[in-house]
Amino acid sequence: MMRISPFALTVAILIVAVILILSACSAGGEPTAGVAATPTSQALAANTTTPAAQPTARPTATPTVEPTSQPSPTPVPPEPASAGSCQNPYYPVVAGASWTYQMSGPVGDTFTRSIVNVRENGFDDQDVFSAGVTRQGSWECREGNLISLTPASGPSVAAAGMQMNATVESNTGLTFPADPRPGMEWTQNLVLVGRFEQEDMSMEARSVIDLSCKAVGMERVSVPAGDFEALRVDCATQFAISISGMAAFNTTVNGSAWYAPGVGWVKSSDASEMGVTEVVLLSYTIP
């Protein structure tokens, strides 16, 4: 069996990781019962308006009338917990949520995706691969629309003594809309610039990713984690990756991904010049 060098493995999984990032988000539909969402940082605001001062009444010969007792106001319950602008029924944005996947194809592995931090307008996630690679990334949320890799921070991939950090040069469009319906189409253009670092070796890298997706409809999907009614999304992703001292890498990935309401990404199948990569959900935990 051919052994892949740590550098080649990092590059390969970096490409796969970006594919996973851009194909692993969704929205729309009704949440599955029992799935908790992340609480917002604000509760219902109480009415703090100070009443205007009333003039003091002059005493008269009329007997004083006792004021009529008023019932105590009913306490207002707090707002339901939510992820604010990140609420997206096909991709539960909940701090501590995790999904474990099996990946087969040119690079076979298992990995666990988890949400490590949730903000009012975004969240951070990470993938930890069994091969020792870790990817970290950030998302921006706009009223349920999810955009991977916000300009404020970029992805990070680390493996076998090598670190790849990237920042966003430009980012337009969105990764997944808040309410995809069959026939709906959307796009995203993402340009990443970064550097590979390993001991005394340093190489610059630049990636241009063009994503084009279309929602197809609901389909029945069976994976190790269970059977789901899931939204199928077909995407074409064009990659142009250049690393200093190496030939440029260009490829187009065509594939489908399925997302279950209240669960998230449950399956995907992507084909490119590297071969066919399939990912299935093994298990998941949503607090």
What is the reported pLDDT for 280? 97
pLDDT tens for each residue of 22-52: 444 333 333 222 223 333 333 333 333 344 4
β-strand partners of 203: 196
Q: What is the pLDDT of residue 157?
A: 58
Rounded CA separation 70/93 (Å)? 43
pLDDT value, residue 131: 83
Maximum distance among all Cα pairs of the chain, rounded to whole angstroms:
106
Mean pLDDT, range 196-220, rounded to an integer: 86
Cβ count near 36 (within 10 Å): 14
Q: What is the mean pLDDT of the chain?
A: 74
**Which residue segments constitute the domains of the chain, with CATH numbers given?**
6-30+83-285 (2.40.360.20)
Q: How far separated are the first and last CA of the chain, in Å rounded?
A: 41
Report the length, in residues, of the chain. 287
What pLDDT, on the 0 to 100 scale, is given for residue 84?
77
pLDDT in the model for residue 81: 38
Sequence-ordered strand ranges (E) for 59-200: 98-104, 109-119, 122-129, 134-142, 145-148, 156-159, 162-173, 185-198
Contact 280, 266 (CB under 8 A): yes
